[in-house]
Amino acid sequence: MTNPTKENGTSGIPAQRRTAFLELMLLSRECDRRSGIVLRQGEAWFHISSAGHEALAALCELLEPDDLLFPHYRDRALMLARGMDPEAQARDLMAKEKSHSAGRNMSAHFGHRPGNVFSIASPTGSQCLPAAGAAWAARLRGSTQAVVCSIGDASTRQGEFFEALAFAVERALPVVFLVADNGYGISTPTDTMSPHALGLLPPGRTTVVDGADPDAVHTASAAALAAARAGEGPTVLWCRLDRLESHTSSDDHRVYRSAADLAALRDPIDLFAARLTAEGVLEDGRLEDIRARLAREIEDVYDRVATEPTADPRHITDHLYAPRPATTPTTAAADTGTGGDGGAGREVTVAPCGGTMVAAVNRALATGLARHRELVLFGEDIDDPKGGVFGFTKGLGPAAGPRMTNAPLAEATIVGAAVGLAAAGMRPVVELQFVDFAGPAWNQIAAQLTTLRWRTASAWQCPVVIYAPWGGYLPGGGIWHSQSNESLFTHLPGLRVVVPSTPEDTEAAFLESFTADDPTLILLPKHLMRRRQEPAARPAPAHGARTLRTGTDVTIATWGNGTELATEAADTLAADGITADVLDLRWLVPLDRAAVADSLRATGRLVVVQEDNRTSSYGAGLISELLCADDDFYSLLAPPRLVTRDDVHVPFHPDLERAVLPTAHDVVAAVRSTLA
């Protein structure tokens, strides 16, 4: 490596840029000062100061327009350097309609799409894995694009920072981790607990920098970015500096910092101004002239922005999902899909094919790889010869090449890298071996994946496809290989959730998701995956509920493994002259609510069948929603029933598993109770 661990303090910013850079630092400080005034005037609700961190913007002097920045909330100066001007920053502070988030994201949670600046999410460190994913996209494309991930020193104790660093080292990704070590995590000193203090950072990839010195930051950044662009992999720039103000406007650092400590803090502006004066670059009185001019200009900008409108609350649900254009349906079996990404936005209809769901997944992935140049497959054990623990990707390696690769045993890395790939314009399709193991990825799913479009007013999108085996009825699965926790995911606005139960539905769900501009979770029932099924009676459209049985006495709504229970129960009831309208909902988000309501109006009775446990479940929510709607409530001739697992885990022994999971007999009993 070209940058072994060292103290770095050599001059770096070119002579012709030195005064301009000082003015940038002063501009950032004045925006901070004015933000505090606006807050006290009641025109803002929260403020995070960047005072003391301004010298880090020297790195931006070296960035190319197409480089990506994943910022930290104290990166005001970096944001100015990347084109987010004071007017945009004032809108961010006051959450105006024209702000980068349309007033949705917290102030100082910067984002600037024109400058390739990714939007900040509050969970600290959650930007690291997406940054690594974006760097991976650059590597896949063979570009010289670099990625900068900015983070505070306290946040480097987050596991996702270590996962991102490991992934970047493993794949020699062009990412620079810019760590602002101001010595505190809110009020907690970090000098004995940071990864650098503990000796946990790779010495050959770590450069210690005087983060209060723009020249030192510039010099170290030049080496780190050159290494990244040359294919040498990541560098950690550990920048030591001082936080000059309280953690946020909700904090008072005088409570936990002594007067002597505060008096000893180093101000990077004063230090750099003194250097420029000594160099003869800054004349006497020039510094105060610049301060006075910027104060007038920024006051005018903030006063003007204060009069701008805030976002209309009537549009608050806009940007949760992309609008889907009306298009001509395409039958997958007849579409060779030879033209790049020409299929984007199409409604897919799969011709009857039968077979197994596993084969349908494999077929859909093969089609996706051939049709979409930007599609990337990523997951544990998915590469040949194994092709995943269920064989979904078996045999796809030769055609996929570097676009299909094994992931480390790290679900957060799988999903977080996918977020970054998607942000960089790729179409990642990732496999979680079991949905039971989504826990480590929850932060990325809930904080990044599902909020990105909404919190940026569609400036960024996240077309990630996650698929995972799901559900029980497979003896010997036990607690952590039998979960049917779909309600955890349907609770997240912005995520589409589908549970197919046939090969045709499976293939249609995948093919449609490859062209969607929003994240999709495809849950694959393990009990049904390897079962050979007869071809469907008719082509399967990608969306909406599907009718499995028709009847007039009761509506049975279900999904996944519940389809087997519901159809078996319907056949049993038919022998007694009771006919059931059985609906396979398939898509839980978006729900085909009209299909359920139409059936309920015809039958007057409702039974919902699920294998998830009862409390706060999707089935319970569906019944609650229907009961709260006047039209649906008054259609009911009897109280609705929920056939479900009780609030207990799925046990390992097959007899115990059968004791807790719903059965067709339970469905029959529920239907009869509505007719009693």
**Dihedrals phi, psi of 164, to nearest 5 degrees:** -65, -40
Q: What's residue 339's pLDDT? A: 31
Both 505 and 558 in one domain: the answer is no
Q: Considering only CA atoms, which of 358, 639, 298 is closest in space to residue 502?
A: 358
How far, in Å, CA of 569 to CA of 672, rounded? 11
Both 389 and 475 in one domain: the answer is yes
Residue 319 lies in a domain: no
- Condensed to tens digits (0 to 9), the pLDDT of residues 254-307 reads 999 999 999 999 999 999 999 999 999 999 999 999 999 999 999 999 999 999
pTM: 0.94
Both 423 and 516 in one domain: the answer is yes
Please list, residue by residue across 299-334, b when 16 or more beta carbons sit within 10 angstroms of its beta carbon and e when fewer do: eebbeebbeeeebeeeeeeebebeebeeeeebebee
- Give catalytic status of residue 491 as yes or no: no
Both 448 and 593 in one domain: the answer is no
Q: What's residue 346's pLDDT? A: 59
Question: Which of these is catalytic: 47, 109, 218, 481?
Answer: 481
Residue 313 lies in a domain: no
- Condensed to tens digits (0 to 9), the pLDDT of residues 161-205 reads 999 999 999 999 999 999 999 999 999 999 999 999 999 999 999
Residue 312 lies in a domain: no
- Return the percentage of the chain with pLDDT > 70, whole number: 95
- Condensed to tens digits (0 to 9), the pLDDT of residues 505-528 reads 999 999 999 999 999 999 999 999
Both 353 and 225 in one domain: the answer is no
Pull the structure tokens for residue 309. Answer: 């409108």
Q: Are 230 and 199 in contact (CB under 8 A)?
A: no
Pull the structure tokens for residue 212. Answer: 């209060």
Q: Are 219 and 11 in contact (CB under 8 A)?
A: yes
Q: What's residue 325's pLDDT? A: 56
Residue 2 lies in a domain: no
User: Containing H/E element for 209?
Assistant: strand 206-210
* Domain that residue 638 falls in: 545-675
Both 446 and 569 in one domain: the answer is no
CATH number of the structural domain spanning residue 615: 3.40.50.920
Residue 518 lies in a domain: yes
The Cβ of residue 228 has, within 10 Å, a number of other Cβ atoms equal to 26
Residue 323 lies in a domain: no
Q: Are 30 and 291 in contact (CB under 8 A)?
A: yes
Please list, in sequence order, all residues whose beta carbon lies within 8 angstroms of the beta carbon of residue 257, skipping any fewer than 6 positions away: none
- Torsion (CA) 317, 321, 327, 331 in degrees, nearest 10: -140
Average pLDDT, the chain: 94
Task: Tally DSSP H helices, then E strands, for the chain.
Answer: 23, 23
* Predicted confidence band of residue 332 (pLDDT cuts 50, 70, 90): very low
Give the CA diameter of the chain: 99
Q: Residue range 643-667: average pLDDT?
A: 98
- State yes or no: pLDDT of 333 exceeds 90: no
How far, in Å, CA of 125 to CA of 103, rounded? 23
- State yes or no: pLDDT of 348 exceeds 90: no
Domain boundary (529, 556, 577) is at 529
Q: What's residue 342's pLDDT? A: 28
Both 515 and 550 in one domain: the answer is no
Residue 538 lies in a domain: no
Q: How many domains does the chain contain in total?
A: 3
Q: What's residue 199's pLDDT? A: 97
Both 523 and 609 in one domain: the answer is no
E strands, 446-586, are 465-470, 496-498, 520-525, 540-541, 546-549, 554-558, 580-584
Both 335 and 299 in one domain: the answer is no
Q: What's residue 11's pLDDT? A: 63
How far, in Å, CA of 116 to CA of 147, rounded? 10
Angle between helical axes of 286-306 and 18-40 (0-180°, round to 10): 40
- Condensed to tens digits (0 to 9), the pLDDT of residues 557-588 reads 999 999 999 999 999 999 999 999 999 999 99
Both 228 and 293 in one domain: the answer is yes
User: Containing H/E element for 148?
Assistant: strand 147-152
How far, in Å, CA of 598 to CA of 347, rounded? 23
Q: Are 582 and 566 in contact (CB under 8 A)?
A: yes
- Asked if omega into 385 is within 30° of 0 (cis), the reply is yes
Residue 104 lies in a domain: yes
Both 468 and 578 in one domain: the answer is no
- Condensed to tens digits (0 to 9), the pLDDT of residues 113-155 reads 999 999 999 999 999 999 999 999 999 999 999 999 999 999 9
Q: What's residue 329's pLDDT? A: 44
Both 363 and 499 in one domain: the answer is yes
Q: Are 312 and 97 in contact (CB under 8 A)?
A: yes
Please list, in sequence order, all residues whose beta carbon lies within 8 angstroms of the beta carbon of residue 264, skipping any fewer than 6 positions away: none
Q: Are 406 and 391 in contact (CB under 8 A)?
A: no
How far, in Å, CA of 380 to CA of 377, rounded? 10
* Predicted confidence band of residue 591 (pLDDT cuts 50, 70, 90): very high
Q: What's residue 343's pLDDT? A: 28
- Condensed to tens digits (0 to 9), the pLDDT of residues 359-393 reads 999 999 999 999 999 999 999 999 999 999 999 99
**Dihedrals phi, psi of 60, to nearest 5 degrees:** -65, -20
CATH number of the structural domain spanning residue 64: 3.40.50.970
